[in-house]
Structure 1
Amino acid sequence: MRSAIHFFSYHLFLRRSRRVVEAAGFRLAVLPTVFDPRRFLTSEFFAGFIGTLDLRGRAVADVCTGSGILALAAARAGADRVVALDINPQAAQAVAENAARNGLADRVVTAASDLLSAVAARPLFDVVIASPPSFPGEPRDIADRAWVAGPDYRDIAGLFEQAGERLNPDGCMYVLFSSDSDLHRLGRLIAEAGFSARLVAERSIGFEVFVVYELRR
């Protein structure tokens, strides 16, 4: 079933032409090769969770941002500064357009970046949020990197260490995975980066459960 969903998601949604969708109270341009937050339920679920956080006065990094829906949700929750990052340049372009479209361009900035590699070591962030690709496997192209993270999670292996280096001492990270992810492997990566994990939200869609973890050092 997972293989079938991946196949149809890639060909019907990730590779589609530009379109405008509404999700989590935002109107969003989705460019070709960018994850569609209307078609994939993880985005609205995670955006809803972010909306419950008090981010007033906080500096936030959104890694693997896609359309920018989570970055916008963080700004709407009160964050003073949100940096939205994605390895796909089309995603960075989409975020800039969507921040302006939704009146948040003064607080949301974006850059094409492999995880947090393009971000300076200072200033530090109070919160890092990430909805990285949940599954191991070799991506076909840049579009497929929204879905699979390389063999043994190669492409996101450095995510947690990089996040830890850029968080304030009392900062935290929120990350979303699927119950179909290799949670044991991801848990080891989290622990190796010096984080402890706490489940803070979950949503079942029958054959799959979306889970959000809070990570703290």
Structure 2
Amino acid sequence: MTTAYSGVGLPGVPAEIYPPQQDSHLLIDAMTEAGIVANARVADLCTGSGVVAVAAAAAGAARVLAFDICPRAVQCARLSAIASGANLQVHRGSWARAMEFAPFDLVVANPPYVPQGSLDDHRRIPAIAGPAQAWNAGAAGRSVLDPLCEAVPRLLAEGGTFLVVQSECSDIPRTVAALQAGGLHTAVVAEQLIPFGPVMAARSHWLMEAGLLKPGSRQERLAVIRADAQ
């Protein structure tokens, strides 16, 4: 399992867009190290800045389609593609929109996965973390992960691969089980321990009280989960 990330990023990502961070880079490294991008038809879900889609295009994908529900993210990803010279298309929408273009040889996703409590803590989180829509994912952190895992088998071509990155606080084994239940061969293929970022730092006390992080934690474990269609 890889424990490093390449540091690939995009300059000039505006504050209202989720900036490329360790999870984005861990996903990129897992994608490129798998050796499955060249000549593949790729979908990047929850693309945000477009950094993963740009990396897929640079790795030789035959076609890259990126999707995001946020119009500002769509605009940012399109500008990122132009600036990098990447050959990709960016569409507004979720995996439901991606269904229109399926099947794909490779689907990648860095979805919102941070659990949120009942109290509004946005004022405690600096703007550099990006918009709340990019990380808030319900009380268990799975409001996006659960329906996404259910949809994946319908997005993949025969022999296709899904790669998703998430935090331990949103239940990595549950994602593995959900993808296995969809008939996919599933495993954790990359992990990394990172210090709390601004969102996790603001919520760490609540996450520990809720049993979503171990007491006394100062780091979180990120994981990339791979699921392959038979």
Bin of the TM-score, shorter chain as denominator length: 0.7 to 0.9
Question: Which of the residues 198, 204, 228 maps onto 1:216?
Answer: 228
Structure 1 residues 81-118: Cα deviation after superposition (integer angstroms, max 9, x where no partner): 111111111111111000000011xx2111111x2111
Please tell me whether the aligned partners of residues 114 and 137 of structure 2 are also in contact (alpha carbons under 8 angstroms).
yes
Per mean C-alpha deviation after superposition, the further-off stretch among 118-127 and 165-174 is 118-127
CA distance in 1, matches of 2:189, 2:68: 24
Distance 2:102 2:145 in 1: 22
Q: Report what 1:44 is aligned to.
A: 25
Query: In structure 1, the residue corresponding to 2:170 is in which secondary structure?
Result: coil
* 1:64 partner amino acid: C
- Unaligned stretches of 5+ residues in structure 2: 1-5, 123-129, 196-218
Structure showing greater radius of gyration is: 2
| TM-score, structure 1 as length reference | 0.77
Q: What do the CA deviations read for 1:125-163 (whole angstroms, capped 9, x no partner)? A: 000001112223379799212112123422332212222
Deviation at 1:28, TM superposition (A): 3.5
CA-to-aligned-CA distance 1:21-48 (integer Å, 9 cap, x gap): xx844544423421111xx322222223
Tell whether the 8 Å contact from 2:105 to 2:160 is kept in structure 1 after alignment.
yes
For 1:33, what is the secondary structure of its paired residue? coil
CA contact (8 A) 2:113 2:144 kept: no
Is residue 81 of structure 2 the alignment partner of residue 99 of structure 1? yes
Give the TM-score taking structure 2 as reference length: 0.73
Equivalent of residue 125 in structure 1, options 86, 90, 104: 104
Q: Which amino acid aligns with 2:31?
A: I
- The structure 1 residue matched to 2:47, chosen from 65, 72, 78, is 65
User: Equivalences for 1:194-205 in 2 at 5 Å?
Assistant: 194-205=183-194
| Percent sequence identity over aligned pairs | 29
The alignment status of 1:81 with 2:60, answered yes or no, reads no
Q: What is the alpha-carbon distance in structure 2 between the residues aligned to residue 196 and residue 145 of structure 1?
A: 30
Q: Superposition pairs for residues 1-217 of structure 1, below 5 Å?
A: 24-37=7-20, 40-52=21-33, 53-104=35-86, 107-113=87-93, 115-137=94-116, 143-152=131-140, 153-205=142-194, 207-217=219-229
Is the 2:71–2:92 contact (alpha carbons within 8 Å) kept by the matching residues of 1? Answer: yes
Structure with a larger share of its residues in helix: 2
User: Which structure would you say has the larger RCO, counting Cα contacts within 8 Å and 6 or more residues apart?
Assistant: 2
Aligned CA-pair RMSD: 2.5
Is the deviation greater in 120-129 or in 136-145? 136-145
Q: Structure 1's 54 and 119: CA in aligned 2 closer, same or farther, altered over 3 A?
A: closer
2: CA distance between counterparts of 1:132 and 1:195? 19
